[in-house]
Structures are given as C-alpha cells and as structure tokens.
C-alpha cells in the first residue's frame, strides 16, 4: 500500500507574527513540522509497520526551508518526501493550495492520503475536503481510530455529538484527529538516516499546474487589513491564600452571583 501524508511547515510557536506589508504570515523565522501533522505521519508509520510493504511518502508545499519539517517526518520513519517550492506559489490560499497538493497526489496515486487535523498557523481545518473533491475520492475527517482491511478504511471519528463509524473504499482521503495516537520521537538512527532519504523538490510547472492557478493570482480570498483585537477588558490575575475570596468579589462585581 502506498500512503501519502500531507504535511506543512509552520513557524515556530513562539515567533508567529503577521507581516504588515504582505498581510501574510511571516515565514522567515524558524519553522517546525505542524504538530498535528505528526499524528498523521505516526498513523501512516503504524499502518506500514502492521502490514505488507507499504511506502510512506510526505507531500508538502512551502518555501525551500520547508525541507526541515520534512526531515523531522523522515526521521520518524517516512520513506521519501516531495516538496513543491515555487515563488509563484507564495501567498496561496486553501483553494490554490488544494490544486497543488491534488496535482502531486494525482502523480503519486497513493491508496491512502492522510492529513493532520488542524494547521497550527492558519488555524485552517478544511484542506483535505478540497483535495478529496479534486481527486474525486471519498473523505473522512476527525478520525480517532483507523483500520484498513479488504480494500477499505474504517474510521471511528469524533463529532459534536459523539462517535461516528464510517467506512470508505480505497483510495480515500482521511484527516486524523490528534486523539488517534502519540507521535513517536525520531531515534538517533532515524535522524542520521533521514539525510539519505530521497527528497524531491518540484516547481508548479513540473506538475503541469499553470502559474496563474497558484499564489495570489490563483487564490480567491484576500486579507484586506490587520487590526488589533478589541480589548477583552482588563485581564486580572489573583493568587495566594485568599484566591477564592477574590474570585467571589470579582463575580459579584460582574453581577454574576
């Protein structure tokens, strides 16, 4: 079985900021593998370890430095990586990004595509549905338990109302919840070995995608302005022996008692 895992490099948590000039996320600082994608990588590795000789391929789009995030996932045990890196693709929204990922996935033609549940930077949780639509494949999101048998995936997933169990024939697109597993730490051997694993870097042209279909020109949304959030009111901090008493005073002040 061939498993593709779509991953993303996100800015390091401590340094996330917007660039006021481009109104985009500043991606110049240290980057890291989106933590939610580590769950998808882990699940792919578990499927590989449980079954026949599967291959786990990482797919990402981002600046050339996104190779660092891939290296971590390769060190966890993924077999190889495909990075689409192209200046023309900078500033792509979810619509444009889904075009690029779908083009890579068409080329790779995996049996199973995995996504993490959430992008830690854009706070997006939608890309898999757009990619599944482009690939015309069944899709299940928020999967907290995944099994593959008889050419189908079976996912137990969490919704607002409890647990669904959904079956979908392969090839399929699955977004996993971070409740699905505890991602492993790369071993020293894994880290050393990652450097030798194949990492392919492609331009959008290599994928046969027109430059006008990606980046800002290929996007259908835009950020018009960046504002400060409305003040939430004075945030107060209390501690010490009389903390409970101060909470009651506060609630009384807010007329909540």
CB 102 within 8 A of CB 131: yes
Can you tell me which of 37, 43, 86, 178 binds another protein, judged by CB under 8 A?
Answer: 178
By C-beta, is 66 or 119 nearer to another protein?
Answer: 119
223 is a site residue for another protein (CB under 8 A): yes
Kindly list the distances between the CA atom of residue 173 and the CA atoms of 140, 150, 166, 242, in Å, as whole numbers in the listed order. Answer: 7, 16, 12, 53
Q: Which is nearer to another protein, 32 or 129 (CB)?
A: 129
Q: In Å, how far from its chain's centre is CA 97? A: 12
Cβ distance to another protein smaller for residue 56 or 168: 168
Residue 185 binds to another protein (criterion: CB under 8 A): no
Radius of gyration of the chain measured on its C-alpha atoms: 21
The region of 72-80, 108-116, 139-147, 201-209 touching another protein under the rule CB under 8 A is 139-147
Residue 230 within binding range of another protein, rule CB under 8 A: yes
Question: How many C-beta neighbours within 10 Å does residue 41 have?
Answer: 27
Q: Spell out, one character per residue from 32 to 71, where the chain touches another protein: x when CB under 8 A holds, - when not.
A: ----------------------------------------
* Cis ω for the linkage preceding 84 (within 30 of 0): no
As given in the structure block, the two tokens for residue 142 are: 């928020």
From candidates 127, 176, 194, 207, binder to another protein by CB under 8 A? 127
Return the range that interacts with another protein (CB under 8 A); candidates 49-57, 64-72, 177-185, 200-208.
177-185
Which C-beta is closer to another protein: that of 53 or that of 239?
A: 239
d(CA 72, CA 61): 15
CB of 178 to another protein, least distance (A): 8
Binding status of residue 162 toward another protein by CB under 8 A: yes
Q: Considering only residues 14, 49, 149, 161, which one is a binding residue for another protein as defined by CB under 8 A?
A: 161
d(CA 14, CA 143): 29
Stretch that binds another protein, among 45-53, 67-75, 105-113, 140-148 (CB under 8 A): 140-148
- Give the tokens for residue 178: 């971070």
Smallest distance, another protein to C-beta of residue 183, A: 16
CB 82 within 8 A of CB 58: yes
User: Could you say which of 52, 123, 188, 189 contacts another protein (CB under 8 A)?
Assistant: 123
Task: Give the CB-side neighbour count of residue 216, counting CA atoms within 13 A.
Answer: 7
CB 211 within 8 A of CB 73: no
Residue 42 is encoded by which pair of tokens? 């882990």
Measured in degrees and rounded to the nearest 5, phi and psi for residue 33 equal -65, 130
Per CB under 8 A, does 88 bind another protein? no
By CB under 8 A, residue 231 contacts another protein: no
Interface segment toward another protein; rule CB under 8 A; list 14-22, 62-70, 82-90, 104-112: 14-22
């Amino acid at each position: 079985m061939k498993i593709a895992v779509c991953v993303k490099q996100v800015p390091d948590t401590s340094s996330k900021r917007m660039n006021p000039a481009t109104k985009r996320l500043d991606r110049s600082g240290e980057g890291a593998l989106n933590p939610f994608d580590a769950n998808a990588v882990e699940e792919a590795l578990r499927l590989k370890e449980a079954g026949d000789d599967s291959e786990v391929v990482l797919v990402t789009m981002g600046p050339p430095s996104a190779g660092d995030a891939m290296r971590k996932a390769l060190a966890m045990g993924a077999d190889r990586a495909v990075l689409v890196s192209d200046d023309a693709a900078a500033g792509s929204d979810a619509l444009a990004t889904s075009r690029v990922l779908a083009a890579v996935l068409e080329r790779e033609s995996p049996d199973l595509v995995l996504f993490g549940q959430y992008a830690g930077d854009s706070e997006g949780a939608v890309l898999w549905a757009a990619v599944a639509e482009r690939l015309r494949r069944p899709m299940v999101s928020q999967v907290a338990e995944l099994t593959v048998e008889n050419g189908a995936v079976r996912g137990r997933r969490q919704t607002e109302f409890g647990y669904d169990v959904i079956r979908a024939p392969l090839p399929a697109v699955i977004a996993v919840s971070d409740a699905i597993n505890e991602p492993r730490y790369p071993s020293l051997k894994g880290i050393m070995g990652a450097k030798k694993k194949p990492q392919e870097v492609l331009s959008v042209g290599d994928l046969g995608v027109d430059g006008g279909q990606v980046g800002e020109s290929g996007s259908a949304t835009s950020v018009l302005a960046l504002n400060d959030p409305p003040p939430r009111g004075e945030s107060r901090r209390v501690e010490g022996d009389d903390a409970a008493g101060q909470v009651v005073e506060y609630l009384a002040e807010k007329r909540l008692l």
